[in-house]
Amino acid sequence: MTSNLFSIGAERLALLGKHHKALMQGYVAGYVDEAAFSEIALKKLISARILWRPDEQQPLALRPLVSELIASMVADESRRQINADVAEKLEQIRNRVQAYRDAQYKGDYSVAELQLQRLTEQVYDLSGQFEEAIDSLWHRLNSDFGFVSSLDDKIRENERAQKQLRRLLDGLDLLDFNELIELAEGNNHLRKLLVSQLQNQLSSHHSSLLEVQKRLLELLAKFRQQQARSMLITNMAAFLRQHPKYQPADYANRSEVPVLFNQAAAIKPQAAIALDRASERQQLAELVRHLPRPSLTTQPQQQSGSGSMLQEDAAIIARQQALKVDVENFYLKVIDNAGTPGTTSTLSALDYLLEKQLAWDSEIWLYQIIAEHQALPVSEKQLFKITREEAAQSEMNNLLLIRDINIGLQITA
């Protein structure tokens, strides 16, 4: 039986290859020119289920499955159909699993191996149908619906693509992995095939479909916006054709502006004193005379308050300057140690703080040392080797805290 199936399939594939030009011409034209074939070739193509006559008055044409195969191979999106009949595939998988278990139960391991191979093909075919459908949708998106001309056709194609996407998502929802786990039971091969691999593939398909749906909605909003603008221009052009003498009104000179045009905020005119007008000097003097005078009692308080703020600012600046000077002295000490024989190559920041009996907080001191090192030019920063002594905050918290900093001078040859 296997050899007979092989010979029939090879013979019919050879027919496709032998008459490829005439068949492709029939695909493009929608019907097959019978004059391009001999009578024997026509009989063979019809019996091989490659050609058929839909009606007695209709010419020969390619069978739908053959046309769909060609459309899928050449990525002809205008004639390519998206088909993912998940329910039928699942029923075939269930029957195949049962046949595999029956063969194992009977001890016919060769038949069981054949059933497992066919089951693997059906599972990959199920995933491949989703992948093929998603590729078709992506091709439509990437071409920006270029195979349709008008904007209305683009919107209709978008809606059709959304319906196809909805059917694919519904098909994914039909896959119940609890049922597949029960089908696999304790068989490692079935569990890997029906659960692990299929779940990974379908998760990827689901993510791709969500991205397609997002892109479709963006395109639909863009098409709707373009359609609204196009309708506005078309209607305005039609109105002008019906009223050729129409002139837009001068809304700027009207006392009552329509609400549609009256969107801008009112302009507040600026006023200034005209000192060059002698007739208004008396009125100006009266206005100045009635201006409220500042209270003399509150002025010293304000001055004292501002003076205290200035003193506080000066104290903060002086403290920051003192800290900066101490840190610079620390770096000078590091340089001196590098040139003094018998001393360590690195200097601890906290040891220096204790040695000099400086009144700085240890955290502020370490932070200022790091800040000074970061502020150095790149050429000078490379001269210093900085090492941080870090420790975890606690056994339950892996946050590293800087306990001390060791800085040394790198001597380059």
Better-predicted residue by pLDDT, 358 or 338? 358
Instruction: Summarize the confidence of residues 346-370 as an average pLDDT.
Output: 87
Whether the per-residue pLDDT at 341 is higher than 80: the answer is no
Whether the per-residue pLDDT at 344 is higher than 70: the answer is no
pLDDT tens sequence across 34-54: 888 888 888 888 888 888 776
Q: How far apart are CA 235 and CA 231, in angstroms?
A: 6
Q: What is the mean pLDDT of the chain?
A: 78
- Tally of residues, the chain: 413
pLDDT tens sequence across 367-409: 888 888 888 888 888 888 888 888 887 777 777 888 888 988 8
Give all strands (DSSP E) within 207-318, no chain letters: none
Q: At 406, give phi and psi (nearest 5°).
A: -110, 130
Which span out of 209-223, 224-238, 256-270, 391-405 was modeled with the highest average pLDDT?
Answer: 224-238
Instruction: Summarize the confidence of residues 184-200 as an average pLDDT.
Output: 82
Amino acid 255: pLDDT: 73
Reading phi first (left if > 0) and then psi (alpha if -120 to 50, else beta), residue 49 is in left
Residue 389, beta-bridge partner list: 404
Give all strands (DSSP E) within 282-383, no chain letters: 346-348
Residue 43, beta-bridge partner list: none
Amino acid 295: pLDDT: 64
Q: Alpha-carbon dihedral of residues 160, 165, 171, 176, nearest 10 degrees?
A: -160
Of 200-209, 229-238, 292-301, which gets the smallest average pLDDT? 292-301
Q: What percent of the chain has pLDDT over 70?
A: 85
Write the DSSP assignment of 159-224 as a string of letters: HHHHHHHHHHHHHHHT--HHHHHHHHTT-HHHHIIIIIIHHHHHHHHHHHHHHHHHHHHHHHHHHH
Give all strands (DSSP E) within 41-165, no chain letters: 51-52, 61-62
Whether the per-residue pLDDT at 413 is higher than 50: the answer is no
Amino acid 242: pLDDT: 92
Whether the per-residue pLDDT at 77 is higher than 60: the answer is no
Write the DSSP assignment of 387-402 as a string of letters: EEEEEES-SS---EEE
The two structure tokens encoding residue 49? 């289920």
Instruction: Summarize the confidence of residues 278-286 as an average pLDDT.
Output: 79
Q: How far apart are CA 118 and CA 116, in angstroms?
A: 5
Query: What predicted TM-score, i.e. pTM, was given to this entire model?
Result: 0.42
Amino acid 238: pLDDT: 92
- Element spanning 285, H or E: helix 281-289
Q: How far apart are CA 107 and CA 380, in angstroms?
A: 81
Which residues make Cβ contacts (< 8 Å) with residue 385, sequence separation at least 6? 346, 407, 408, 409, 410
Whether the per-residue pLDDT at 299 is higher than 80: the answer is no
